[in-house]
Structure 1
Amino acid sequence: MNHASALLSVEHLVVEYRSGRLRGPKRVIDDVSLTIGAGETLGLVGESGSGKTTIGRAILGLAPVTSGRVVLDGTDISRLGRRERRDRAQGVQAIFQDPYSSLNPSMSIAEILVEPIREGTQAEKRRRVHELLDAVRLPSDAGRRQAREFSGGQRQRIAIARALALHPRLIVCDEPTSALDMSTQTRVLELLREIQQRTAVSYLFISHDLGVVRAMSDRTAVLLGGRVVEEGTADQVAGDPRHPYSKRLQMATPVADPVLQAQRRQERQALLREQAAAGVA
């Protein structure tokens, strides 16, 4: 996709952290460029430590940008001051992995949902809370309860509702289903797809599971050691990966058939041995 036509354009992003007085900075994201179009889902996949969450945090303004640009709707949001970024941040929201820790346990669900809404009368805010609960298929009386009264899947629906509160153009979904069981995960993914069809919101969908990314994404980027090593359509990357690391991720994707799962495990172990002998990362 052309950077100029993208809703979000990450251009030559570098993120470094200081690792101590005597050591130089540690580079965790190294010259990453990505684009996301309006109404599109870009999957970002990699194992733990690959840097995928750091990219999401950099887009959200929660991680320092050492160099490069994060351009949203033509504005480099990585260079904005705190107040300017807060105003622009309405266009980018997040759904995190653990729905319970991301919800304030001392607040009712209605208070959580209405908190980011700055404008409107109390009646308008109450209507917005009802709209948000309806959008994620929760009853209207859920607003009177607290997060601890809900299951994990319901809490994630509440987190999705909060992300929708300010009508964002882009939502960073950071492992939003990895803490859920398989059936609940499927229902939450279906809800995210339904919301996208209805609102044309864009997603950056971050996961370690190539199968989940394939189910959600239009395009997929594979991250290894802070660098993109492969990018293509979701079907191509998951079905016919080119990079050795992408092939390992493909073989690590769980399948329902136990015989096929065991076969994949053996093939992955053989591939690891082959790649180690050849000195391939």
Structure 2
Amino acid sequence: MTDPILRVKNLVVRFGSGRHDTKTVINDVSLDLFPGETLSLVGESGSGKTTIGRAILGLAPVSEGTIEFRGQTISNLPRNQRRRTAKAIQVVFQDPYSSLNPSMTVEDILVEPLKSAGVAGGRQRIRELLDAVGLPADSGARYPKEFSGGQRQRIAIARALALEPSVIICDEPTSALDVTTQARVLTLLRELQERTGVAYLFISHDLGVVNAISDRIAVLYQGQIVELGDAAQVAHHPRHDYTHRLQISAPVADPKIQRERRTERLRLYAQEPAASVTS
């Protein structure tokens, strides 16, 4: 069996200092991401999913446990050593406008990571990246404000691809987009994965969205993984009560099903949140 490209083992993330002033945000989380796979982390706001992504990127403290990339421990590395893995693990953020410098042209935005990594780029590489994400060749001379939200997210994806990473952390990359644009961006991500073999750690609050792109899904609840399995099984036949809550919260086009889900949501949220796996 193929070894995981990224491995999180018994991860604990705490914020604050002192015995009584710390808050445990992630509690004993373990997961593996395999080459070319999409593993999604799904949970409501505050569940800890973004913190896991930030810990992998070195932007959140690792209080306990380890994070390994290609078999080497990268958690809590000094900054100069962290740069060695920075090229291989990239990120696409939630808001495609605030994550792009509005004073820079698209060409400058795409060249910046190449320059920072000391990688030869040039106009040919910019054209290749724009073509890869379905943007016109003349987009490089324009500014982010001249593009729609979906197009800006394509620019962000192109920037993440610039250094040919092995892993891209997608942190709610479609949540700021309308449903139609969401579908187009998800299709683009799948096509890029098929073409490049990149692995995605896809972070979202929407179980319906992650089911459309994932191979496996991990469900986070209060900083812990409560369910992990094949995407279809988790999305359609959840074993944990919390996953079931996420399932019936996802919008559907059928008004009858939507009414039934609303009734079920009202019934469940009148009860205390369950913390155990149901049969």
TM-score scaled by structure 2?
A: 0.94
Equivalent AA in structure 1 for residue 109 of structure 2: I
Matches of 1:125 and 1:37, distance apart in 2 = 32
Matches of 2:110 and 2:144, distance apart in 1 = 12
Which ranges of structure 2 fall in alignment gaps of 5 or more residues? none
Equivalent AA in structure 2 for residue 11 of structure 1: K
2:26 equivalent among 24, 29, 43? 29
Correspondence 1:149-164 to 2 at 5 A: 149-164=146-161
Partner of 2:111: 114
Partner of 1:12: 10
Q: SS of the residue aligned with 1:97?
A: coil
Q: SS of the residue aligned with 2:114?
A: coil
Aligned residues: CA RMSD: 1.5
Q: Does 1:64 align with 2:61?
A: yes
Which ranges of structure 1 fall in alignment gaps of 5 or more residues? none
Correspondence 1:189-268 to 2 at 5 A: 189-268=186-265
Cα distance, 1:120 vs. partner?
A: 5.1
Matches of 2:20 and 2:68, distance apart in 1 = 31
Matches of 2:3 and 2:262, distance apart in 1 = 41
Matches of 1:31 and 1:169, distance apart in 2 = 25
The answer on whether the counterparts of 2:58 and 2:76 sit within 8 Å (CA) in structure 1 is: no
Equivalent AA in structure 2 for residue 98 of structure 1: D
Equivalent AA in structure 2 for residue 210 of structure 1: L
Partner of 1:129: 126
Equivalent AA in structure 2 for residue 188 of structure 1: V
The answer on whether the counterparts of 1:117 and 1:125 sit within 8 Å (CA) in structure 2 is: no
CA deviation vs aligned residue, 1:72-93 (integer Å, no higher than 9, x gap): 1011111321011012111100
Matches of 2:254 and 2:134, distance apart in 1 = 32
Percentage of matched positions with identical amino acids:
61
Matches of 2:15 and 2:69, distance apart in 1 = 24
Superposed structure 1 runs of 4+ greater than 3 Å apart: 118-121
Equivalent AA in structure 2 for residue 10 of structure 1: V
Cα distance, 1:22 vs. partner?
A: 7.9
Matches of 2:125 and 2:168, distance apart in 1 = 19
The answer on whether the counterparts of 2:68 and 2:74 sit within 8 Å (CA) in structure 1 is: yes
Cα distance, 1:262 vs. partner?
A: 1.3
Equivalent AA in structure 2 for residue 143 of structure 1: G
Cα distance, 1:24 vs. partner?
A: 2.8
Q: Does 1:49 align with 2:46?
A: yes
The answer on whether the counterparts of 2:4 and 2:33 sit within 8 Å (CA) in structure 1 is: yes
Matches of 1:120 and 1:268, distance apart in 2 = 51
Cα distance, 1:258 vs. partner?
A: 1.8
Equivalent AA in structure 2 for residue 140 of structure 1: A
Equivalent AA in structure 2 for residue 264 of structure 1: R
2:274 equivalent among 261, 271, 280? 280
Q: Does 1:96 align with 2:93?
A: yes
Matches of 2:81 and 2:131, distance apart in 1 = 31
Cα distance, 1:176 vs. partner?
A: 0.3
After superposing the two structures, state which structure 1 stretch, 264-273 or 151-160, moved more. 264-273
After superposing the two structures, state which structure 1 stretch, 170-179 or 263-272, moved more. 263-272
Q: SS of the residue aligned with 1:117?
A: helix
Aligned length: 273
Q: Give the number of the structure whose residues are more often helix, by fraction.
A: 1
Cα distance, 1:272 vs. partner?
A: 2.7
